[in-house]
Structure 1
Amino acid sequence: MVRHNNQLPNNLTQLQNLIKRDPESYKEEFNQQLAHFETTLEIFNLNPTQYNKKLDEQSMFLAQVAQCYLDDMKFFPQKIIDILKSHNTTLHNDMRLALCKCLILLRNKNFITPFDLLELFFNLLKCQDKHLREFLKTHIITDIKNMNMKHKDMKFNSTLQNFMFSMLRNSDAKAAKLSLDILIELYHKNIWNDQKTVNIIADIGCFSKVTKVMVASLKFFLGRDEAEKEENSDSEDEVDPRDTMIANKFNKKTRKRDKMVEKVKKVAKKLKKKKEKAPVFNFSALHLLNNPQGFAEKLFKLMESSNERFEVKLMCLDVISRLIGLHNLFLFNYYPFIARLLLPHQREVTRILQFAAQASHELVPAEIIEPVMRAIANNFITERNSTDVMAVGLNAVREICARCPLAITEDLLRDLVQYKNYKEKSVMMAARSLIQLYRHSMPTLLHKKDRGRPTEASLELKTKKYGDMDIKDYVPGSEVLLEKKDITEDEKKKKKGNKKKGNESDSDDWVDVNSDESEIDISDSDEDSDDGEEEEEEVVEEEEDNDEDAGSEDNQPERNEANIDNVNTRKTLKAKRKLNKEDIAEKVETARNIAMETIFTDDDFKRIDAAQVKKHVSGVKRNKSVVEDEEESGELVQLSAIENIHKKRKHDKHARLESVLKGREERNKFGYKDRRKNIHCSKTNREKRKTKNYQMVKHKAKGKIKRSFKDKQIAFRNYLIKQKKMK
């Protein structure tokens, strides 16, 4: 059948639409276009460097209708592949991109296997065409993602991974870099987030001779460091602080007790936030390494012998430090190397201090990390440096000691702690944060006056030695479950009365008061607590001498009243300390028995949390929260923790004026508002009076003077007389 005035051969879009509707009726037109394509292809092969618009349109048309004529289009995809394989580098950019789009369309219709197409596209990554490389990268990632959407084809993934890993070793830098980018993107999309991918990137990418590939691999292991957003939870579903202060339920409210309530709320909130905070792995790829020790040693050796830029070496040091801290590795050559870089004038010195802290863990021997501590103490924490440098040095020491408490000697720690009274606030705050750290980890290393008032939690601390692990076989605080849940007011008062009577009748014996019934005392001033601490410390320091004096009491019949009081106080403190240790041992045994026999409920855990809060508060007289400044040693050291410098605001005139002007930026202009529509018209007499000299208006200002009570009486009497006369 011959169609007169047939325009379909020139209108491929219309022909494509008609063929998809009725393939059999337009088989002749399709064969005609297929023959045209063969002819155009032969002509194109003679000069493949030129863009052929006709070939572009015909190949896209045939790809669109390929599913309608399966037998005729069986060899069409291979012809396109042959063109790209034979002329991949010589083709025109637009022509090459058009043929790639044609193949993608055929791939979506299952005319080409995914591996054959991806293999071709990876070879095309060598082409000097940036737009094409980005296009192919997007398609490869999308295609692999779609294939693993419903279920993962392990056989296909393994074959494709092996091919991509071979591309990482490619001599072409751009192809290797793009292959690595695809692997990293697939890892971040949780498609190929297995050990095989991570270890290949570590073994090939991090040791590549191409700097861009090496840097990209190191960045992959450093992770996407996003700022952690801490949400302040103000929910009411928290540990009720009133459970820890039963005595205050029935007493009169005072400012002192209000401060105590606020303090316990802070402690409870801090502990709850720490408990509910899920572990954050910013660099979880490091967890999947098969041989972290060998990888760290090999990377450190490469970094020492390489001539790369300083920034690249810093990235290597960062990865190594994270490996050491995360896997508790032993790489003893790392610490002397990094100690040589710890100088105040060194570029990026705060980051190097961060690496030193990240490479610290409890299994590092003190003599190995000692060069780092000595370098920080000698180069940073000296008065010849600026206060900012000293504060940064103290912060770095604190971060190292938070992960390795035995890294610092007792003498050096006590020397650094002396900066707690330094004239500059930044240094003073850094030194006090170091004191706060050791108060809750190893208070015995501090001087007695710096240990603070002991609490139940501090009495439970044990001095750790190298290699000690604090593993508990019980739930701390579970001994509180044996106590009664509810105590009535009458029972409470009765117990208080019995306690007072016992104290009056048996003054010589020490009376044990249950911690749940004792009132938590918080002094209103720091001076009282300091005096109390100093008194107790003096008694403790003279304990041995006084014991000897007590032993020779018969030989000294004449003793003044003050010495007798000191002996009684000493005996009381000694008995109290001994009793506290016995109580702690008894509580541990009770908790261990409960853990073996009881299944804890949610309410039980709430009561345990409340008891743990009380342990941090009881016996403390300072207003600052005990747990509020406690250090948390996570996997990653935040750079802000080292650079955190408390600065005193400037009070010169220029600084004050600058702050005043800054505060006025978004504020409406203050003062008198001139509401005249025409600024040239006159003002009222009242407005003009404001600009006049005082001598001109002082006679009118007298009327504004407030009258006395006597003047008001006289005026009111005259008013009444006048009203009476008028009647």
Structure 2
Amino acid sequence: MVRHNNQLPNNLTQLQNLIKRDPESYKEEFNQQLAHFETTLEIFNLNPTQYNKKLDEQSMFLAQVAQCYLEDMKFFPQKIIDILKSHNTTLHNDMRLALCKCLILLRNKNFITPFDLLELFFNLLKCQDKHLREFLKTHIITDIKNMNMRHKDMKFNSTLQNFMFSMLRNSDAKAAKLSLDILIELYHKNIWNDQKTVNIIADIGCFSKVTKVMVASLKFFLGRDEAEKEENSDSEDEVDPRDTMIANKFNKKTRKRDKMVEKVKKVAKKLKKKKEKAPVFNFSALHLLNNPQGFAEKLFKLMEPSNERFEVKLMCLDVISRLIGLHNLFLFNYYPFIARLLLPHQREVTRILQFAAQASHELVPAEIIEPVMRAIANNFITERNSADVMAVGLNAVREICARCPLAITEDLLRDLVQYKNYKEKSVMMAARSLIQLYRQSMPTLLHKKDRGRPTEASLELKTKKYGDMEIKDYVPGSEVLLEKKDITEDEKKKKKGNKKKGNESDSDDWVDVNSDESEIDISDSDEDSDDGEEEEEEVVEEEDNDEDTGNKDNQPKGNKANIDNVNTRKTLKAKRKLNKEDIAEKVETARNIAMETIFTDEDFKRIDAAQVKKHVSGVKRNKSFVEDEEESGELVQLSAIENIHKKRKHDKNARLESVLKGREERDKFGYKDRRKNIHCSKTNREKRKTKNYQMVKHKAKGKIKRSFKDKQIAFRNYLIKQKKMK
């Protein structure tokens, strides 16, 4: 068969297409190209530093059609590997990248095993080529991900993992860093998220002599990678979808705006998906550690004498504090070390306070955490500091005490609580939040006037001692399940009968209300309740004194109101004793219910509502606030320590009033009309200022386009005219 105008030897793309369709018919052309490749390869080996375009094209062509001639292409991959192994550092960057792409293509066609290719690619990391390293990293991650897509080959994964772990110990910093990056990326993609991977990163990565490897390992345990990616994202992607869509309704339709709208729709779709997705927590890596106590001790021992940058030391302190708080570890040297850094002028001091709070838990002895509390009290919570510093110190004390209630002594707590009436609102609010914390956990440490009115929940609280564990054999609040939801028929009939009697008074129409709620009035604020407590206590003391001296009958008539208050106080005391007995009965009832009942979702909803009600009864408080108080996360939020309440000087109405007052004696702002008679007409120049721009734009346009010569002539004519007028 004679081919006229045969251009196939030169047009490799066309030949590649034809060979894939009919390999046998074009075997001759393929052999010809294979011979050309052999010749070009021999020439290239003489001078491997130069880029050879012909070799690039021929090798890519042969890789594309390799599956069509399996016998002929048996040794082709090894030839490419030999070039990269022998000339890896001397090859031209483009030539090296082209040969790597050729090998990846052959790997996808199963001509090379993934382990052999992985080993070669890690050897290529010695090359000074950043683009190549990123390319190889992407391929390795994608390849391992694709292999584990349908089913996980545990034996093969184990072999690959062992190789990657050996590369972490490599003396070459670039190879070790890339190996760590690949392991972390595969962990985040839920491919190699097992215990073995996490512990290897902890044992090798966190103690590496290469700072970059150590920092990347610490960031992995802190879970900051995702946050950094969001911060470094391009501003173009951060488009508000609603603004663009609304603007497009009124703007002129152009091709550019259409593209922008399409882009915004995609961004809006992504945001919607992100909201619908369940939140991903990166702290599970800390849970998978085999020996958290040993890891924390080793990391602290390495960090304490090191000369690393301050930022790296902060990362180490952060990881150690999370480990201590998460696993309830004992690392007593940590607290005196961090106490030395707690100074108001210290760099990143709020983060150091956060680490101190994270490292506190109920099993830390009070004498061990005392240096931290003393440093905060002496250095922050003193009137020689600014209000913001004092507020931050009080917030830090609150966060520590929330995790370790026995960390503060009774005397120190009562001293700090005195700031509840401080002149600066930020300090006052921080002190009151500390009061609120101990009202919910250990009210007996507070002074009587700061405990607030007793609630059913506060009566159930017990003063804890070090090491006490409160284990309940019942579901708290389950006694509410015995209460009837609806009024019985008899009660309804009675109620109707009472109404028919003439509606003599509102007291006949009664509603069954819990006795605990009706006993104690709900005050408008905590301050009012505190004052009420103080007054009641003073009255009771007066009454006791009168009883002792026998002057009860000789009281003057003016003290009748005080006597009524004393009687009310006595009644409250008696009812509170009954409350304690009621609580014991409720606990027994709840224990019996727990033994006999299987709770449903509706039952748990009723129990939760009853528990919230216990907090609210007797003290006016928001439901959401109580729920937030009960939920304590594993980690301390930095915003909880930096939360400083600023007192606004004026509200909106007051500011508007002052603005209007300042305008009273001023002239009206804006365009000033110079006409003596306001009813006379305006000049064309004055009228032009109020006209729509579309009506006058042609005149403005004409002025802009005047040449310099025209401007000179116009100016000369103007001067002549002015001279004539004089």
Query: TM-score, normalised to structure 2's length?
Result: 0.78
Task: Tell whether the 8 Å contact from 1:455 to 1:615 is kept in structure 2 after alignment.
Answer: yes
CA-to-partner distance for each residue in 1:650-688, whole Å, 9 max, x for gaps? 569999799989999999999899999999993599999
How far does the alpha carbon of each residue in 1:78-101 deviate from its partner, in whole angstroms, 9 at most, with x for none?
111111111111111011000000
Extract unaligned runs of 5+ from structure 1. none
- Contact in 2 for aligned 1:20/1:65 (Cα 8 Å): yes
Deviation at 1:701, TM superposition (A): 42
Contact in 2 for aligned 1:246/1:517 (Cα 8 Å): no
Alignment match, 1:723 = 722
8 Å contact from structure 2 (residues 187, 193) kept in 1:
yes
Q: 1:671 to 1:297 in 2, by over 3 A?
A: same
Residues 353 and 396, structure 1, Cα contact 8 Å, conserved in 2: yes
Task: Sort the Cα spacing of 1:429 and 1:525 in 2 relative to 1 into closer, same or farther, 3 A.
Answer: closer
Going from structure 1 to structure 2, the CA distance change for 1:669 and 1:17 (only over 3 Å counts) comes to farther
Task: Quote the Cα distance in structure 1 between the aligned partners of 2:617 and 2:57.
Answer: 84
Q: Distance in 1 between matches of 2:76 and 2:253?
A: 90
Residue 508 to residue 679, structure 1, CA distance change in 2 (3 Å): closer
Give the deviation of 1:34 after TM superposition.
0.8
Shift of 1:231: 21
Q: Distance in 2 between matches of 1:202 and 1:293?
A: 12
Cα pair distance change 1:99/1:366, threshold 3 Å: same
Q: Secondary structure at the match of 1:553?
A: coil
Provide the rounded CA distance (Å) in 2 between the counterparts of 1:218 and 1:105: 36
Which range moved further: 150-159 or 620-629? 620-629
Distance 1:245 1:13, change over 3 A: closer
Aligned twin of 2:27: 27
CA contact under 8 A between 2:417 and 2:434: conserved in structure 1? Answer: yes
Larger CA deviation: 460-469 vs 246-255: 246-255
User: 1:131: Cα distance to partner?
Assistant: 0.5
Change over 3 Å in CA distance of 1:250–1:106 after alignment to 2: closer
| Pair 282,680 (structure 1): closer, same or farther in 2 beyond 3 Å | farther
- Taking a change above 3 Å as real, the CA distance of residues 26 and 236 of structure 1, as seen in their structure-2 partners, is closer
212-221 vs 622-631, which moves further: 622-631
Q: What is the CA distance between 1:69 and its match in structure 2?
A: 0.4
| Contact 1:267–1:625 (CA under 8 A) maintained in structure 2 | no
> What are the superposed Cα offsets for residues 240-274 of structure 1, whole Å, 9 maximum, x if unpaired?
99999999999999999999999999999999999
- Aligned 8 A contact 1:238 1:272 in 2: no
Q: 1:552 to 1:510 in 2, by over 3 A?
A: farther
Are the aligned partners of 1:260 and 1:522 in contact in 2 as well (CA < 8 Å)? no
Inter-CA distance 68–385: structure 2 relative to 1 (3 Å threshold):
same
CA shift at 1:725, angstroms?
70
Aligned to 1:342: 342
Cα deviation, residue 527, structure 1: 7.3
Relative to structure 2, which stretch is displaced further, 273-282 or 431-440? 273-282
Q: Which moved further from structure 2: 609-618 or 632-641? A: 609-618
Displacement of 1:308 in angstroms is: 0.4
**1:392 touches 1:643 (CA, 8 Å); kept in 2?**
yes
Residues 198, 289 of structure 2: 8 Å contact kept: yes
CA distance in 1: counterparts of 2:589 and 2:300, whole angstroms? 50
Contact 1:419/1:428 (8 A) holds in 2:
yes
Residue 621 of structure 1 and its aligned partner are, at CA, apart by 4.9
1:113 paired residue number: 113
Deviation at 1:627, TM superposition (A): 1.6
Contact 2:612 2:626 in 1 (8 A): no
Which whole-Å deviations, capped at 9, do the CAs of 1:436-480 have from their partners, x for residues lacking one? Answer: 111101111111111111111111111111111222221111111
Change (3 A) 1:553 1:717: farther
Task: Report percent identity of matched pairs.
Answer: 98
Deviates more, 1:586-595 or 1:686-695: 686-695
For the aligned residue pairs, the C-alpha RMSD in angstroms reads: 15.5
Per-residue Cα deviation, 1:336-382 (whole angstroms, up to 9, x for no partner): 00000000111111110010000010100000000000000000000
CA distance in 2, matches of 1:249, 1:111: 56
Report how far residue 531 of structure 1 moved: 4.3
Matched residues in 2 for 1:251 and 1:36: separation? Answer: 61
Q: 1:201 to 1:501 in 2, by over 3 A?
A: farther
Residue 68 of structure 1: CA displacement? 0.4
Tell me, in whole angstroms, the C-alpha distance in 2 between the residues paired with 1:42 and 1:243.
63
Q: Do 1:523 and 1:622's aligned partners in 2 also have CA atoms closer than 8 Å?
A: no
Pair 1:62–1:285, CA change in 2 (3 A): same
Contact residue 9 and residue 33 of structure 2 kept, 8 A: yes
8 Å Cα contact 1:239/1:606 also seen in 2: no
Task: Report Cα offsets for 1:383-423 as digits up to 9, x if no partner.
Answer: 00011100000000001001111000000000000000000
Q: What TM-score comes out, normalization by structure 1 length?
A: 0.78
The Cα of 1:505 is off from its aligned counterpart by: 19
Contact kept in structure 1, 2:222 and 2:319, CA below 8 Å: yes
In the alignment, structure 1 residue 169 sits paired with structure 2 residue 169: yes
Q: Using a 3 Å threshold, how does the CA distance of structure 1 residues 265 and 720 change in structure 2: closer, same or farther?
A: closer
For each residue in 1:569-617, what CA deviation from the matched residue of structure 2 results, as whole angstroms up to 9, or x when unmatched? 5543332222111100100110110111112223322322332232122
CA contact (8 A) 2:339 2:372 kept: yes
**Residue aligning to 2:683:** 684
CA 1:710–1:682: 2 relative to 1, 3 Å = closer
**Pair 676,358 (structure 1): closer, same or farther in 2 beyond 3 Å:** farther
1:309–1:178 Cα change, 3 Å: same
Name the SS of the counterpart of 2:603 in structure 1.
Answer: helix
Q: Give the C-alpha shift of residue 43 in structure 1.
A: 1.2
- Structure 2 CA distance for partners of 1:661 and 1:290, relative to 1, 3 Å: farther
Q: Which residue is 1:554 aligned to?
A: 553
Q: Which sits farther off after the overlay, 316-325 or 644-653?
A: 644-653
The residue that corresponds to 1:609 in the other structure is: 608
Deviation at 1:129, TM superposition (A): 0.4
Aligned partner of residue 49 in structure 2, secondary structure: coil
More deviation in 233-242 or 525-534?
233-242
Aligned mates of 1:113, 1:8 — CA distance in 2: 33
Q: Higher mean Cα deviation, 27-36 or 330-339?
A: 27-36
Q: Deviation at 1:632?
A: 3.8
1:73 and 2:73 matched: yes
Matching of residues 188-207 of structure 1 within 5 Å: 188-207=188-207
| Distance in structure 2 (CA, Å) of the matches to 1:149 and 1:409 | 57
Which residue in 1 is equivalent to 2:361?
361
Q: CA deviation at 1:102?
A: 0.4
Distance 1:290-1:374 versus aligned 2 partners, 3 A rule: same
Alpha carbons of structure 1 residues 251 and 56: separation in structure 2 relative to 1, 3 Å: closer
Q: Cα 1:547–1:622, aligned 2, differ >3 Å: closer, same or farther?
A: farther
The structure with higher relative contact order (CA 8 Å, sep 6+) is 1
Deviation at 1:227, TM superposition (A): 7.8
Rounded to whole Å, the distance in 2 between the matches of 1:251 and 1:490 is 71
Say whether the 8 Å CA contact 1:63–1:102 is kept in structure 2: yes
Partners of 1:652 and 1:528 in 2: CA distance = 25
* In structure 1, distance between residues paired with 2:450 and 2:597: 40
| TM-superposed deviation, 1:522 | 3.0
Shift of 1:282: 3.9
SS at match of 1:504: coil
Relative to structure 1, the CA distance from residue 703 to residue 85 in structure 2 (aligned partners, 3 Å threshold; closer, same or farther) is closer
CA contact (8 A) 2:452 2:533 kept: yes
Deviates more, 1:594-603 or 1:333-342: 594-603
Compared CA separation, residues 203 and 239, structure 1 to 2 (3 A): closer
Q: Conserved in 2, the CA contact under 8 Å of 1:510 and 1:576?
A: no
Inter-CA distance 97–510: structure 2 relative to 1 (3 Å threshold): closer
SS at match of 2:502: helix
CA contact (8 A) 1:267 1:613 kept: no
Tell me the secondary structure at the aligned position of residue 230 of structure 2: coil
Cα separation, partners in 2 of 1:320 and 1:74, compared to 1, 3 Å: same
Kindly indicate whether the alpha-carbon contact (under 8 Å) linking 1:241 and 1:610 is maintained by their aligned counterparts in 2: no
CA distance in 2: counterparts of 1:260 and 1:535, whole angstroms: 68
Alpha carbons 1:543, 1:570 under 8 Å: kept: no
The alpha-carbon distance between structure 1 residues 554 and 398, as it changes in their structure 2 partners (threshold 3 A), is same
